[in-house]
Amino acid sequence: MKLHKESKGTILVATILFVILATVSIYFLHLWSLLVLVPLLVLYGLVFWFFRVPIRTLAEGELSVVAPVDGKVVMIKEVDESEFLKQKAIQVSIFMSPLNVHICRYPVAGQVVYKKYHPGKYLVAWHEKSSTDNERTTLAVETPAKHQVVFRQIAGYVARRIVFYSQPGDQAKAGEEFGFIKFGSRMDVFLPLDTEIQCKIGDKTKGGVDVIAQLKKP
């Protein structure tokens, strides 16, 4: 299993803690140490599972909007996107649990035209105000057909490290990685009002594979 490059520091710390706790439990508890070692092994394994990098065949389509992350659709609504678009848009929000793959992917192809990091609070990621109040990074891509699509990485109550690699001027390919969020979080995508939404609240998404919307032909 391939592990994400962001795993190095976390796995090192987890390994040191595991060795220390396992050694102490065996020394003091002897046979009873199994009551501690089994849960420790499960938690240790979950750290590796969190940073897995699955092999996927990415969705294609010039007007397709692909799921930027693995997770569950928790919101589809018309909102005012005041940071970049400065107009009404359709917001699609996907919540990621700690068990999901946390690679962040471009929802559309085009050119990165905007990026801004915002420090903030750590409300639970499914809270509606987390989109504007939490620590977050906002990016925007302009497609070849001149659609402007905004997407936002949002840190949650547990997730406290947002990683992003994009810079304005970069070429984006739908489904390709642009960042990572550690340990539970949310991704918002803001689309033009005439976009055909092809997902519903409660749907489980697979990042880079599932098509969640179709942009209107110019």
Q: What is the pLDDT along the chain (218 residues), one digit of tens a residue?
A: 699 999 999 999 999 999 999 999 998 888 888 899 999 999 999 989 989 999 999 998 899 999 999 999 999 999 999 999 999 999 999 999 888 998 999 999 999 999 999 887 656 555 556 566 778 899 999 999 999 999 999 886 554 578 889 999 999 999 999 999 876 688 999 999 999 999 999 999 999 999 999 999 98
The pTM assigned to this predicted structure is 0.87
Catalytic residue IDs = 185
Cα separation, 68 vs 104, whole angstroms: 6
Q: Which of 125, 136, 138 is nearest to 168 (CA)?
A: 138
C-alpha to C-alpha distance for 110 and 28, rounded to whole angstroms: 59
Q: Write the pLDDT tens digit of every residue in 78-124.
A: 999 999 999 999 999 999 988 899 899 999 999 999 999 988 765 65
CA distances 5 to 99, 162, 182, 191, Å, are 18, 14, 12, 30
